[in-house]
């Protein structure tokens, strides 16, 4: 095998895009959604959430969703759920009804293959058609994949809550990002 000339950059190959399709989640997806969410909860860069979720808890969560707060899943050719995303209420006050918070989680084995972007583009489309004016999120600054995904979809940083969370004995900053939809 030919060796790389000194100083030449390493050739990195991006994994081929995952062949996934999107559909609305149903209560039958609760266990898969919990499994993928719990992978994120285990990783301190993904969320400040610390309590793992059960399928029953996610089922109850799915049942409470109305048409303004859809949950989608990304499924592979075998029908296995590989990721999920949702539009969430920002705050209960009526003046914030035009603002959607969102979540997007991809299972570990499928990350970096376009699933996150596929879901976020779809969530944005849904947010527009529902009539939201903007989408917002809070992320850990060290979540490189998340921040890259949001930036690439046009979200900008609007601030940082410093030492907002306290997890595993460490103060954690939280990055706030948003995009205006119209
Ligand atoms: C964050 C997450 C949803 C991104 O989804 P993904 O399928 O892995 O990302 P994609 O393959 O769609 O890539 C989206 C962009 O991020 C970039 N990216 C992906 N993984 C990356 C990484 N590890 N480091 C830096 N950039 C990365 C891609 O190159 C792509 O950039 P581009 O649009 O400029 O080409 C996913 O990694 C995940 O589920 N992480 C754990 C849960 C989590 O953190 N959720 C968000 C909570 S705020």
The pTM assigned to this predicted structure is: 0.92
The rounded distance, in Å, linking the Cα atoms of 25 and 13 is: 32
What CATH number corresponds to the domain at position 67? 3.40.630.30
Task: Give percent helix, percent strand, percent coil of the chain, each to the nearest 5.
Answer: 30, 30, 40
Q: How many domains does the chain have?
A: 1
The rounded distance, in Å, linking the Cα atoms of 40 and 171 is: 19
State which ligand 1 atom lies nearest to the alpha carbon of 138: 48
Indicate whether 77 belongs to any domain.
yes
CB 104 near ligand 1, within 6 Å: yes
Indicate whether 160 belongs to any domain.
no
Task: Render pLDDT for 123-155 as a digit per residue (tens, 0 to 9).
Answer: 999 999 999 999 999 999 999 999 999 999 999
State which ligand 1 atom lies nearest to the alpha carbon of 107: 39
Indicate whether 30 belongs to any domain.
yes
Indicate whether 7 belongs to any domain.
no
CB 152 near ligand 1, within 6 Å: yes
| pLDDT confidence bin for 14, thresholds 50/70/90 | low
What pLDDT sits at residue 182? Answer: 77
Ligand 1 centroid from CA 148, angstroms: 6
What pLDDT sits at residue 13? Answer: 57
Task: Render pLDDT for 49-91 as a digit per residue (tens, 0 to 9).
Answer: 999 999 999 999 999 999 999 999 999 999 999 999 999 999 9
CB 146 near ligand 1, within 6 Å: yes
């Amino acid at each position: 095998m030919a060796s790389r000339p000194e100083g030449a950059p390493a050739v990195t190959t991006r994994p081929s895009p995952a062949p996934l399709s999107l559909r609305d989640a149903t209560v039958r997806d609760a266990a898969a959604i919990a499994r993928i969410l719990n992978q994120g909860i285990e990783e301190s860069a993904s969320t400040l959430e610390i309590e793992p979720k059960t399928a029953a808890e996610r089922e109850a969560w799915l049942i409470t969703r109305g048409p303004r707060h859809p949950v989608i899943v990304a499924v592979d050719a075998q029908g296995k759920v590989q990721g999920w995303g949702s539009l969430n209420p920002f705050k209960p006050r009526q003046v914030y009804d035009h603002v959607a918070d969102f979540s997007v989680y991809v299972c570990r084995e499928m990350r970096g293959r376009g699933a996150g972007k596929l879901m976020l583009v779809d969530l944005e489309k849904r947010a527009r058609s529902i009539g939201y004016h903007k989408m917002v999120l809070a992320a850990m600054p060290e979540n490189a994949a998340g921040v890259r995904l949001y930036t690439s979809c046009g979200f900008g940083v609007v601030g940082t809550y410093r030492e907002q969370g306290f997890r595993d004995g460490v103060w954690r900053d939280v990055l706030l990002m948003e995009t205006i939809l119209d």
